[in-house]
């Protein structure tokens, strides 16, 4: 979802449309919906408590895991983009923008803290409180558009799935 402060001409600079602003950088960021979507899906269709479902992800983020060749290569394929922005450089490169290698331990302690907030408070652990404050602070610092109101008011849109028949299955 686009932030409420988004405008029709937000990707126009010096009278010219700049498409790269729509796919890279702070103006390319929409209101995050994954957390609401996953928490809502679990509430509607899940059988386990959120805390139990999210704990393995917390453990991986907190303790880290060793990168495979493919994972390291995938991160490094975006290295030029990651090093442009302090936020992504901090999380997706080694110190000073050095690329990852196969076998490097990949730890995301800040992500673990966010996931712990979600585990404890559900969607409110992301869309309000310290996590929301951090998102809005980063938006303000970098010239982004997302506000506390955007986060607080976000709700996933549920649609009927596309269905088809295959033999005896729908």
**Res. 96: pLDDT tops 90:** no
pLDDT (tens digit per residue) in 72-87 = 999 999 999 999 988 8
| Cα atoms found within 13 Å of the Cα of residue 65, Cβ hemisphere only | 12
Instruction: Provide the percentage of residues in the chain whose pLDDT is more than 90.
Output: 92
170 found inside a domain: no
Nearest to 91 by CA among 68, 113, 120: 113
Examine the domain organization and report whether 17 and 92 are in the same domain. Answer: no
Q: Across the chain, where does the E strand assignment appear?
A: 12-13, 16-17, 65-66, 105-106
**pLDDT for residue 100:** 96
Examine the domain organization and report whether 119 and 141 are in the same domain. Answer: yes
Examine the domain organization and report whether 42 and 111 are in the same domain. Answer: yes
89 found inside a domain: yes
- Cα-atom radius of gyration of the chain, to the nearest Å? 19
Examine the domain organization and report whether 85 and 129 are in the same domain. Answer: no
| Mean pLDDT score, 11-28 | 93
25 found inside a domain: yes
Domain assignment of residue 84, given as a range: 65-106
Nearest to 122 by CA among 72, 58, 49, 26: 49
Examine the domain organization and report whether 47 and 81 are in the same domain. Answer: no
- Number of structural domains in the chain: 2
168 found inside a domain: no
139 found inside a domain: yes
148 found inside a domain: yes
| Backbone dihedral region for residue 102 (phi beyond 0: left; psi -120 to 50: alpha; all else: beta) | beta
Geometric angle at alpha carbon 130, from 127 and 131, rounded to 5°: 50
162 found inside a domain: no
**pTM, two decimal places:** 0.88
């Amino acid at each position: 979802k686009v932030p409420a402060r988004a405008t029709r001409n937000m990707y126009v600079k010096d009278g010219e449309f700049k498409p790269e602003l729509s796919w890279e950088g702070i103006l390319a960021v929409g209101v995050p919906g994954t957390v609401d979507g996953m928490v809502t899906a679990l509430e509607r269709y899940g059988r386990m408590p959120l805390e139990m479902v999210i704990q393995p992800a917390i453990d991986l983020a907190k303790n880290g895991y060793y990168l495979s060749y493919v994972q390291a290569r995938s991160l490094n394929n975006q290295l030029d983009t990651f090093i442009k922005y302090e936020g992504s450089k901090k999380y997706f490169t080694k110190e000073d923008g050095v690329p990852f290698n196969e076998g490097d331990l990949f730890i995301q302690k800040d992500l673990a803290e966010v996931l712990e907030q979600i585990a404890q408070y559900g969607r409110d652990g992301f869309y309000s409180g310290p996590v929301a404050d951090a998102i809005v602070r980063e938006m303000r610092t970098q010239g982004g558009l997302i506000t506390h109101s955007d986060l607080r008011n976000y709700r996933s849109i549920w649609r009927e799935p596309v269905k088809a028949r295959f033999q005896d299955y729908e």
